[in-house]
Amino acid sequence: MDREEVWEYNVTVWLVDGGSPALWSSAVLWLRVLDVKDRAPVFAEARYSARVPENNAVVALVLRVRAWDADWGQNARVRYRLGEGRVRGTPLSSSVSVEAETGALYALRSFDYEEVREVGLWVRAEDGGAPALSSNVSVRLVIVNENDDAPQLLYTPATPVVLVRERGQQPRSDTASLAPRCFF
């Protein structure tokens, strides 16, 4: 019997004696199959991915992972936790957290696209059985670039003064103007 397939049975028992005439009686037995810890949690998706805008709010909800366990009662209770990892040399747990009861994943810091473009991590779902069974799922956070950095002049000429003549004007040695250009 597998409780996850059929968890209760109604069985009718017939009793017949060997006498003449044969006498009989019947009883209906209701059987409930007890749970044995035999199933690990299963995630709703094979992998999770979310786009996080850079300069996000601290403690912003990023996404929610979900898993369920086909067992019953305490054996089916699912809790979540982060796998070990690092983001630019710092522990993953200083950048991201997961709420144990709900699977809600939070950004604990504001991400900067120019520093981190993607964060890969694992979330583990454990059931309440003894011993606990678990499953892992991959989560990918893609940091989305925002227009938050002013342009910078990367080349400065060796001569600090540039003489530019406007139409019909003679150049003056005490002023300079540059026509802006964009290169893409």
Q: Tell me how far apart the alpha carbons of residues 9 and 14 are, in angstroms, rounded to a whole number.
A: 16
Angle at 130 between CA 124 and CA 132, to 5 degrees: 10
Model pLDDT, residue 80: 98
What's residue 41's pLDDT? Answer: 95
Q: With 70 as the cut, is the pLDDT of residue 33 above it?
A: yes
Q: What is the pLDDT of residues 40-49, one digit of tens each?
A: 999 999 999 9
What is the C-alpha separation between 34 and 90, in angstroms, rounded? 46
pLDDT in tens, 107-132: 999 999 999 999 999 999 999 988 89
* Averaged pLDDT for residues 30-53: 88
CB of 138 closer than 8 Å to CB of 47 = yes
